[in-house]
């Protein structure tokens, strides 16, 4: 009997050990939009390692899948092929389409405690606008941004301008930019006054001009757009006038992907770009860098941008719950502060700016507060049903205007007509 008891006890111990091993084998797959390896990949890997250390029962397989569009496509293809993908960072503006396809879960279903509720309510409201619909939260902000104006303070001094007084209105920006244009003895432009990128995400830049006109590009339901009002036409015309009328910006289109380097090479004194570039600009600039909120016209403002964490309708309930724990960890104040410091993306909660690390960072780099402060006048990024097609027709209209193929009114009238046709199905719903 004693031997049998010993064997039974040994069997129980082995069984419990197997259960523990099994618990440690709970695997999660997370798709993440990092186009290439390097610094950002290492930061995410480090955060994942810290999560695994704090949660030894969970193993996270982080798959770096390219840009936001690449990430969405690859994650959904993997799910369709039967692979479990429990979470991903994807465009905040993809929420409506993802919800419509039934591939994301509301975070509300995972809120069980007062601590959970407090976490869900901790994020800046402006960053939640592209993550909530029908009273539920589907996207949690992580890699988020606003558009800010970077400027070369040394160029300001050279032009006799106050480096601590960047332009605050459209009129001031075009006037200041004209004084910053620098030409060679032969008349060639060596430095432009300002550049606004018009490839990659032209609709995003236009969203800033629209907000500054007191306009919204779409309704909150994502079923209607507002592309061709008089204020919208005026906004697009001003963008074109910077190159053609004021001659402070190159005519035609300006590449999103190379603009940061052109600014660092002092080929432009000012640029509009994502705050996600802040750390790289501050690290690599050989001149004194200023960062300012975007200039106002009727009012100030910028759309938010970037990526949200989503919980995908994939894997087991236990895996989905573990993915929820991962998202909470990655968006905690300490991790949000770490991500903001390492990249320049905006901290997603007030609590992230109260951490000792962030307090020290903004003391040394006050430019990091500009994007956060701009959230008070920020608006949602263009997000509709059939989002890719709608954005495409607006992008085409912007580029047709900037390249002189069409007037601002003709281009935006056409974009409005096309978008209305695309959204007709959503409106019927």
Structural domain count of the chain:
2
Q: Is residue 279 domain-shared with residue 202, that is, in the same domain?
A: yes
State both tokens at 263.
């600014």
Inter-CA distances, 344 with 81, 278, 286, 287, 341, Å? 36, 5, 18, 18, 6
Encode pLDDT of 393-417 as tens digits: 999 999 999 999 999 999 999 999 9
Are the C-beta atoms of residues 307 and 143 closer than 8 Å to each other? yes
- If pLDDT is split at 50, 70 and 90, which confidence band does 214 have? very high
Instruction: Answer yes or no: is pLDDT of 266 > 80.
Output: yes
State both tokens at 90.
């994807």
Q: Is residue 160 domain-shared with residue 110, that is, in the same domain?
A: no
Encode pLDDT of 161-197 as tens digits: 999 999 999 999 999 999 999 999 999 999 999 999 9
Domain containing residue 348: 2-144+305-379
Q: Is residue 26 domain-shared with residue 136, that is, in the same domain?
A: yes
Q: Is residue 101 domain-shared with residue 224, that is, in the same domain?
A: no
**Average model confidence (pLDDT) for the chain?**
93
Encode pLDDT of 361-390 as tens digits: 999 999 999 999 999 999 999 999 999 999
Exposed / middle / buried, residue 392 (Cβ in 10 Å: 0-12, 13-18, 19+): middle
DSSP 217-283: SB-TTSS-B---SHHHHHHHHHHHHHHHTS--S-SS---HHHHHHHHHTTSBSEEEEEGGGHHHHHH
Exposed / middle / buried, residue 6 (Cβ in 10 Å: 0-12, 13-18, 19+): exposed
Q: Is residue 156 domain-shared with residue 127, that is, in the same domain?
A: no
Encode pLDDT of 280-290 as tens digits: 999 999 999 99
Instruction: Answer yes or no: is pLDDT of 99 > 90.
Output: yes
Distance (Å, whole) CA 102 – CA 310: 12
State both tokens at 146.
């606003």
Q: pLDDT higher for 18 or 325? A: 325
Q: Is residue 114 domain-shared with residue 59, that is, in the same domain?
A: yes
Instruction: Answer yes or no: is pLDDT of 351 > 50.
Output: yes
Instruction: Answer yes or no: is pLDDT of 423 > 80.
Output: yes
- If pLDDT is split at 50, 70 and 90, which confidence band does 22 have? very low
Instruction: Answer yes or no: is pLDDT of 4 > 50.
Output: no
The partner residues of 136 in beta bridges, in order of sequence, read 133
Mean pLDDT of 100-114: 96
Distance (Å, whole) CA 122 – CA 101: 28
pLDDT of residue 20: 47
Mean pLDDT of 238-246: 98
Q: Is residue 342 domain-shared with residue 273, that is, in the same domain?
A: no
- If pLDDT is split at 50, 70 and 90, which confidence band does 25 have? confident
Mean pLDDT of 137-156: 97
State which of 364, 379, 394 marks the end of a domain: 379
% of the chain residues with pLDDT over 70: 93
- If pLDDT is split at 50, 70 and 90, which confidence band does 9 have? very low
Beta strand 302-312 with 182-183: parallel, antiparallel or unpaired?
Answer: unpaired
Instruction: Answer yes or no: is pLDDT of 66 > 50.
Output: yes
Mean pLDDT of 32-61: 88
Mean pLDDT of 272-294: 96
Q: Hey, is 38 helix, strand or coil?
A: coil
Q: Is residue 391 domain-shared with residue 245, that is, in the same domain?
A: yes
Single out the residue of 393, 376, 374 nearest to residue 384, CA to CA. 393
Instruction: Answer yes or no: is pLDDT of 38 > 90.
Output: no
What CATH code is carried by the domain that includes residue 322? 3.40.190.10
Query: Residues 303, 306, 310, 314: is their CA dihedral positive or negative?
Result: positive
Q: Is residue 118 domain-shared with residue 160, that is, in the same domain?
A: no
pLDDT of residue 427: 67
pLDDT of residue 428: 59
Q: Is residue 312 domain-shared with residue 417, that is, in the same domain?
A: no
Instruction: Answer yes or no: is pLDDT of 19 > 50.
Output: no
Encode pLDDT of 302-328 as tens digits: 999 999 999 999 999 999 999 999 999
Q: Is residue 283 domain-shared with residue 388, that is, in the same domain?
A: yes
Q: Is residue 336 domain-shared with residue 399, that is, in the same domain?
A: no
């Amino acid at each position: 009997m004693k031997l049998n008891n010993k064997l039974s006890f040994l069997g129980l111990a082995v069984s419990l050990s197997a259960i523990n091993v099994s618990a440690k084998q709970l695997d999660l797959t997370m798709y993440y939009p990092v186009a290439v390896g390097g610094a950002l990949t290492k930061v995410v890997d480090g955060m994942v390692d810290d999560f695994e250390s704090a949660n030894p029962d969970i193993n996270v397989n982080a798959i770096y899948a390219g840009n936001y569009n690449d990430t969405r496509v690859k994650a959904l293809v993997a799910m369709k092929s039967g692979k479990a993908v429990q979470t991903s960072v994807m465009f905040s503006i993809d929420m409506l389409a993802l919800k419509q396809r039934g591939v994301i879960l509301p975070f509300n279903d995972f809120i069980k405690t007062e601590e959970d509720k407090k976490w869900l309510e901790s994020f800046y409201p402006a960053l939640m606008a592209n993550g909530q619909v029908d009273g539920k939260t589907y996207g949690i902000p992580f890699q988020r941004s606003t558009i800010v104006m970077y400027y070369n303070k040394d160029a300001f001094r050279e032009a006799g301008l106050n480096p601590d007084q960047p332009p605050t209105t459209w009129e001031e920006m075009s006037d200041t930019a004209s004084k910053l244009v620098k030409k060679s003895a032969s008349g060639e432009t060596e430095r432009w006054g300002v550049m606004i990128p018009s490839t990659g995400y032209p609709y995003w830049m236009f969203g800033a001009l629209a907000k500054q006109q007191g306009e919204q590009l779409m309704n909150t339901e994502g079923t209607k757009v507002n592309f061709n009002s008089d204020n919208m036409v005026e906004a697009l015309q001003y963008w074109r006038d910077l190159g053609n009328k004021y001659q402070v910006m190159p005519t035609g289109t300006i590449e999103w992907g190379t603009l940061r380097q052109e600014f660092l090479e002092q080929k432009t004194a000012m640029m509009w770009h994502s705050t996600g570039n802040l750390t790289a600009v501050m690290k690599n600039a050989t001149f004194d860098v200023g960062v300012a909120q975007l200039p106002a016209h009727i009012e100030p403002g910028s759309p938010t941008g970037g990526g949200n964490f989503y919980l995908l309708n994939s894997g087991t309930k236990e895996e989905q719950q573990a993915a929820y724990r991962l998202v909470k960890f990655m968006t905690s104040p300490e991790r949000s502060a770490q991500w903001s410091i390492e990249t320049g993306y905006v901290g997603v909660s007030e609590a992230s700016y109260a951490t000792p690390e962030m307090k020290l960072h903004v003391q040394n780099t006050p430019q990091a507060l500009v994007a956060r402060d701009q959230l008070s006048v920020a608006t949602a990024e263009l997000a509709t049903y059939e989002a890719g097609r709608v954005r495409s027709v607006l992008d085409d209209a912007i580029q047709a205007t900037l390249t002189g193929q069409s007037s601002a009114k003709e281009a935006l009238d056409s974009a409005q007509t096309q978008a209305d046709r695309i959204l007709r199905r959503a409106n019927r719903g």
